[in-house]
Amino acid sequence: MRIILVLLVLISALAVNVSAQVAKLYPVDEASKEPTFFTFRARLIQAVQRRDASYLLSILSPKIQNSFGGDGGIEEFKTTWKPERPQSEVWTELAMVLSLGGAFDKDGIFEAPYISAKWPEDKDGFELGAIIGENVRVRAAPQISSSIMRQLAFDIVEVSDWGGNKARGEKRDWIKIKLSDGQSGYVAQEFIRSPIAYRAAFAKEEGRWVMTYFIAGD
């Protein structure tokens, strides 16, 4: 009887450790469903790696949406991002977006990353974030040496602070989250993403693939 009770306790503890926090959001990449888009995206990824401003500008829709408040268009994109500069943040932001898969909508538009494309409609995109990996460690404090509270895998979690917490001597930023049991912990910034962070959409215009928006926020 004692052995059975011990086993039940262990099973319960394991279940708590692996269960979803708010929900699960697993990676999706539907690019291969459309071979022409798959090829287009591969070329764009290579151009981003080269930081090729000419190529990037060539695949923008003339009406590209750059924010929720501006007029849009290529000139506004150039003013916003200054892609001719190798250190422009457009390269790191777009590289991340393209690396995280995506999905087609009913109109054949491809949205990336998958976090935004497949975000559940009933989940608050301002208060929640998605863990983008397996065995992602939640630590008790915002530093690598802190104790591990939990390991998460593709969970949607409640975010207490997107501010990027950093303990003294730490090089990386940490995001404060709230676990399903009410405890607070910290996840390294590179392993969690907001559904309203930068995202891109691609559609066919006049027979060729173009980027129709590159925006953040809501």
Same domain, 108 and 151: no
Q: Which whole number is the average pLDDT over 164-190?
A: 89
Same domain, 74 and 177: no
Q: Which whole number is the average pLDDT over 188-209?
A: 97
Position 9 in a domain: no
> Could you tell me the pTM of the whole model?
0.87
Same domain, 172 and 92: no
Same domain, 151 and 58: no
The residues with which 129 forms a beta bridge, in sequence order, are 157
Structural domain containing residue 181: 128-193
Report the CATH number at residue 104. 3.10.450
C-alpha 104/C-alpha 191 separation (Å) is 24
Strands 184-188 and 199-205: unpaired
pLDDT at 77 > cutoff 60 = yes
Same domain, 134 and 205: no
Query: Would you state the pLDDT for residue 10?
Result: 38
Q: What is the DSSP string of the chain?
A: -HHHHHHHHHHHHHHHHHS-SSEE----B-GGGSHHHHHHHHHHHHHHHHT-HHHHHHTEEEEEE--SSS--SHHHHHHHH-TTSTT-HHHHHHHHHHHT-BEE-TTS-EEESHHHHT--TTS-TTTEEEE-SSSEEEESSSSTTSPEEEEESSEEEEEEEEEEE--TT--S-EEEEE-TTS-EEEEEGGGEE-TTSSEEEEEEETTEEEEEEEE---
pLDDT at 6 > cutoff 90 = no
Mean pLDDT of all residues belonging to the chain: 91
Report the CATH number at residue 143. 2.30.30.40
C-alpha 43/C-alpha 55 separation (Å) is 9
pLDDT at 201 > cutoff 80 = yes
Distance of CA 22 to the CA centre of its chain: 17
Same domain, 109 and 177: no
Same domain, 39 and 112: yes
Same domain, 98 and 200: yes
Same domain, 132 and 176: yes
Same domain, 52 and 93: yes
pLDDT at 1 > cutoff 50 = no
Number of domains in the chain: 2
pLDDT at 98 > cutoff 80 = yes
C-alpha 104/C-alpha 29 separation (Å) is 9
Same domain, 77 and 163: no
What is the per-residue pLDDT across 104-144, written as a single tens digit (0 to 9) for each?
999 999 999 999 999 999 999 999 999 999 999 999 999 99
pLDDT at 76 > cutoff 80 = yes
Position 183 in a domain: yes
Position 150 in a domain: yes
Q: Which whole number is the average pLDDT over 86-113?
A: 98
Position 8 in a domain: no
